[in-house]
Amino acid sequence: MIGQPLASVIMPAYRAERFVCEAIESALAQDYGSVELIVVDDGSDDATAELAARYPITVLHQPHSGIAAARNTGVRATNGAYLAIHDADDTWPPDRLSAQIEYLEAEPDAGIVLGLAEVFTHPGEERFDQMSPLTRGRPVQGLPATMLARREVFERVGEFDETLELGEDIDWLARAMDAGVKSVTLERVVLRRRVHATNATIDTSRNRAAVMAVLRRSVHRQRARGDD
């Protein structure tokens, strides 16, 4: 829509043929009128790229380099004043972008707005015991995938760390917080997070180790600055 700031949505996708169409369609169904969607096919060997190409969006291709590299490729291609990452197995409610952008437009001191996530197990798949605290019907907060950020925040914080196999989004958000970027959390669901057998974070021991490593890096940054 003319006059609205452009929102850029980056969707890294690797072997995502099962869910990528649903994810794309939820981004295209946003009630915000000025959106560009960039899907980055990270060297998939399934039909991910072909399925994405059916939609009126930008599809980029790269050799398989990992999710952080795919995120960075997408971010570099964006034109929007606001940026969000949309994982290729999740979906968004149609008012996500309008609600988050409305908040940032009204609060110029805030650089990042997050929201709540509704976590669900994909129908017909095993219900993973380690995920059960998140799948008892209560929305959860703090997931980086709920984030919308101003472009200048991405310019200030820098790219996702491509040396990290897991936790690159948590690391990016921690770096933003350590840099003094103001963030807020809306008390509304902005993400439907799908739990399924091939989630990158389904291995909780690896995921926990990645989160702890990110937290240690954050502590080291704070100490280097002389923070208490």
In a domain, 118, yes or no: yes
List pLDDT tens digits, range 25-53: 999 999 999 999 999 999 999 999 999 99
Q: What is the pLDDT along the chain (228 residues), one digit of tens a residue?
A: 557 999 999 999 999 999 999 999 999 999 999 999 999 999 999 999 999 999 999 999 999 999 999 999 999 999 999 999 999 999 999 999 999 999 999 999 999 999 999 988 777 665 554 455 555 668 999 899 999 999 999 999 999 999 998 889 999 999 999 999 999 999 999 999 988 666 555 545 666 666 666 666 656 666 676 665
In a domain, 103, yes or no: yes
- 3-state per-residue secondary structure call for the chain: CCCCCCEEEEEEECCCCCCHHHHHHHHHCCCCCCEEEEEEEECCCCCHHHHHCCCCCEEEEECCCCHHHHHHHHHHCCCCCEEEECCCCCECCCCHHHHHHHHHHHCCCCCEEEEEEEEEECCCCCCCHHHHHHCCCCCEECCHHHCEEEHHHHHHHCCCCCCCCCCHHHHHHHHHHHCCCCEEEEEEEEEEEEECCCCCCCCHHHHHHHHHHHHHHHHHHHHHHCCC
| Straight-line distance from the first to the last Cα atom of the chain, in angstroms, rounded to the nearest whole number | 46
Q: Which amino acid appears at position 203 of this protein? A: D
Domain limits at 73? 7-225
Q: How many domains does the chain have?
A: 1
* Token duo for residue 193: 């997070």
Residue 166: its pLDDT value, please? Answer: 85
* Token duo for residue 120: 């669900």
For residue 172, what is the domain's CATH number? 3.90.550.10
In a domain, 1, yes or no: no
Q: Rounded to whole angstroms, how far apart are CA atoms 72 and 78?
A: 10
In a domain, 124, yes or no: yes
